[in-house]
Amino acid sequence: MKRLLSIVVAVMAFFTSFNTQAEENKMTENKILVAYFSATGTTAGVAEKLASAIGADLFEIKPKQPYTEADLDWRNKQSRSSIEMDNPDARPEIATKVTDMNKYDIVFVGFPIWWYREPSIIDTFMESYDFAGKTVVPFATSGGSGMGKSGEIMQKLAPKAKVFAGKRFSSGVSSEELKSWADEWLK
């Protein structure tokens, strides 16, 4: 009887271990990219923590013409950022491209909130690639504004992707909190 019980326990342990390994393998099968635009460095810090926490590749969405401090003055209606955000068709050029977007299954897209949504350069990014069949998860940084309609706008720009609503984080977010949040899409 003891021998039978030992065999049953050993078989159960084997299958539990096998199932756990299968789940871990499934998580690592997805190729993940964290792409981000950061005007002042805040979003870059969060993106770097997220990529490190989930083992993702990291790509900075750099504008071909870098933003100056004057460009970012949201109080000036003639500043570059104000003009871009006032025009829904504005598409600032991006300096570099993701080498092989086809290899990614999940793309986290980070940005600062501008005028209660994603900056126009994110719209350029979303229209620059075929996101068909991919999971796109926005994340943002802001002193207080929420995501607004960023997820909805990004879904319209990549209609064959599954774009989620996303989440806003403060600059002090921990790697553990980011990993816990990202795990929802990595399972």
Q: Average pLDDT for residues 35-58, to the nearest whole number?
A: 97
Contact between residue 42 and residue 141 where contact means Cβ atoms under 8 Å apart: yes
d(CA 118, CA 176) in angstroms, rounded, equals 25
DSSP 77: T
Helix and strand numbers, DSSP H then E, in the chain: 6, 6
The string of pLDDT tens digits covering residues 169-184 is: 999 999 999 999 999 9
The string of pLDDT tens digits covering residues 77-112 is: 888 888 888 888 999 999 999 999 999 999 999 999
The pLDDT of residue 25: 34
Alpha helix ranges (H) inside 115-158: 120-127, 150-157
Give the CATH number of domain 31-186: 3.40.50.360
> pTM score, two decimals?
0.82
d(CA 27, CA 102) in angstroms, rounded, equals 18
DSSP 143: S
Q: How confident is the model at residue 167 (pLDDT cuts 50, 70, 90)?
A: very high
Q: Nearest-CA neighbor of 142 among 105, 162, 113?
A: 113
The pLDDT of residue 57: 98
